[in-house]
């Protein structure tokens, strides 16, 4: 094969990529007490793909997510959302980008207790001074099964329902990417499965890009691919994961780290 024909097979690096990091490094502290949380991590999150980030405790999962989502600063390398390099933005622009282009789902739901489910879902749009697209809002609310609960406040909803409100809130502004930090960590397995099912539906039916950090092989089984971190480095990747295969891979890492 000629170099020319090879080149035509190589996808353009920005097309179809919702977010990417290149040689991303993050160090906490300085001197003897410094910790390298991320060590030159390069990863791309393709549009319309569901990625799970896994790895042992302290391997850098949350740090990677926070840096990729513009929630945390980094020491070197670069992060982009779509074609926007985060390093070129000032604080105001970064806040705006997070608000308009990124959806967040946290373990602790982070809903406003005094607002109804509907008001919570539309809050990012209200803050941005945008009107909800009624059809889209209806589609999102129906997809997460909240049509009958829109007037309820978070305190009147189960944990699973509250997280579904958070999923709808993340989806409603049609962000370039949704980041979830242990989004099912506070839910029982049934409610967790529902929330993960909705996230997967949003990828399949709405073309949403989703990235979640998780410890749970069952949760990772909902993703299109799993990336594994260890000691701040990307060490492995698995396409079309199943919980059993993910568990086997994690056991293999554990065995290797015990013998090294
Ligand atoms: N604010 C901080 N100050 C100092 N060190 C930190 C800070 N936050 C994280 N670290 C360190 O950076 C490394 C990566 O942490 P991180 O929270 O990203 O890992 P994680 O894989 O998400 O862990 P877990 O699964 O336990 O949540 C760890 O060694 C951690 O102790």
Query: CA 200, CA 30: separation in Å to the nearest integer?
Result: 40
ipTM: 0.97
Q: Any residues with CB less than 8 A from the CB of 98 and at least 6 apart, and which?
A: 69, 70, 71
Q: Model confidence over 197-217: pLDDT tens digits?
A: 989 999 998 899 999 999 999
Residue 228 DSSP SS3: strand
Instruction: Sketch out the chain's domains with CATH numbers.
Output: 47-73+84-259 (3.40.50.300)
Q: What is the mean pLDDT of the chain?
A: 90
Residue 24 has phi, psi (to 5 degrees) of -75, 125
For residue 115, report the distance from its CA to the centre of ligand 1, in Å.
Answer: 33
Give the closest residue (by CA) to ligand 1 atom 11. 37
Q: What pTM did the predictor assign?
A: 0.90
> Does residue 107's CB lie within 6 angstroms of at least one atom of ligand 1?
no
Q: Model confidence over 101-130: pLDDT tens digits?
A: 999 998 888 999 999 999 999 998 998 898
């Amino acid at each position: 094969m000629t170099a020319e024909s090879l080149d035509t097979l190589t996808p353009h690096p920005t097309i179809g990529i919702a977010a990417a990091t290149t040689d991303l490094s993050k160090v906490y502290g300085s001197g003897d007490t410094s910790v390298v949380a991320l060590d030159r991590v390069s990863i791309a999150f393709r549009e319309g793909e569901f990625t799970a980030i896994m790895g042992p405790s302290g391997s850098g999962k949350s740090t990677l997510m926070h840096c990729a989502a513009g929630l945390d600063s980094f020491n070197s390398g670069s992060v982009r959302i779509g074609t926007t390099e985060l390093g070129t933005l000032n604080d105001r622009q970064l806040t705006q980008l997070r608000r308009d282009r990124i959806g967040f789902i946290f373990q602790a739901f982070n809903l406003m207790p005094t607002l109804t489910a509907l008001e919570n879902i539309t809050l990012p749009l209200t803050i941005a001074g945008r009107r909800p697209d009624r059809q889209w809002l209806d589609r999102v609310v129906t997809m997460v099964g909240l049509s009958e609960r829109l007037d309820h406040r978070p305190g009147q909803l189960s944990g699973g329902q509250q997280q579904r409100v958070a999923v709808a809130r993340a989806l409603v502004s049609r962000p370039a990417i949704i980041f979830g930090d242990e989004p099912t960590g506070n839910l029982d397995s049934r409610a967790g499965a529902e929330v993960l099912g909705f996230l997967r539906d949003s990828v399949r039916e709405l073309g949403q890009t989703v990235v979640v950090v998780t410890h749970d092989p069952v949760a990772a089984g909902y993703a299109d691919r799993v990336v594994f971190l260890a000691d701040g480095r990307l060490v492995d990747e698995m396409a079309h994961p199943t919980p059993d295969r993910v568990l086997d891979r994690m056991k293999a890492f554990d065995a290797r780290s015990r013998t090294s």
